[in-house]
Amino acid sequence: MVHPICKRALETWGETAQMLMVIEEMSELTKEILKNINRHKDNISEIIEETADVEIMLEQLKANYKIEQEVIEYKQKKLLQIEERLNQWKKAE
C-alpha cells in the first residue's frame, strides 16, 4: 500500500520531478553512508532523515510505475534466496 500522501505528491508534482527526486534523495543517503563509513562521522540523525526521504521517494516510484505488488513478490523471492545463501554460509564455517 502506497501512502496516500506519497500518491498525492506524485499526482501534484508529476512524474519527471518526482522521479528526479528519487535519484536526488538516494544520492543524499549515499553521501551520508560514505561520510559515516569513510570519515567515521557521527551522522546517525542525517542517516535517519535520508533513509526516511528515500523510503518516501521509493513509495512514489512504485506508485508511478504501478509495481507495488511485483516489488513485494520479488522481494519475497529474493529474501528466500538470501536465506538459502545464509544457511550455506553457516554450513561452510
CA 59 vs CA 15, 24, 43, 49, 56: distances in Å: 13, 15, 24, 16, 5
User: Contact letters (x/-) for Mg ion, 51-80, by CB under 5 A?
Assistant: --x---------------------------
Q: Classify residue 66 by its DSSP letter.
A: T
From the list 7-15, 45-53, 68-76, 83-91, the region that binds Mg ion by CB under 5 A is 45-53
Smaller CB distance to Mg ion: residue 53 or 68? 53
Q: Are 68 and 62 in contact (CB under 8 A)?
A: yes
28 is an interface residue for Mg ion by CB under 5 A: yes
HEC profile of 11-40: HHHCHHHHHHHHHHHHHHHHHHHHHHHHCC
From the list 8-16, 23-31, 64-72, 77-85, the region that binds Mg ion by CB under 5 A is 23-31
Q: Minimum distance from CB of 69 to Mg ion (Å)?
A: 27
Q: Which residues bind Mg ion (CB under 5 A)?
A: 25, 28, 53
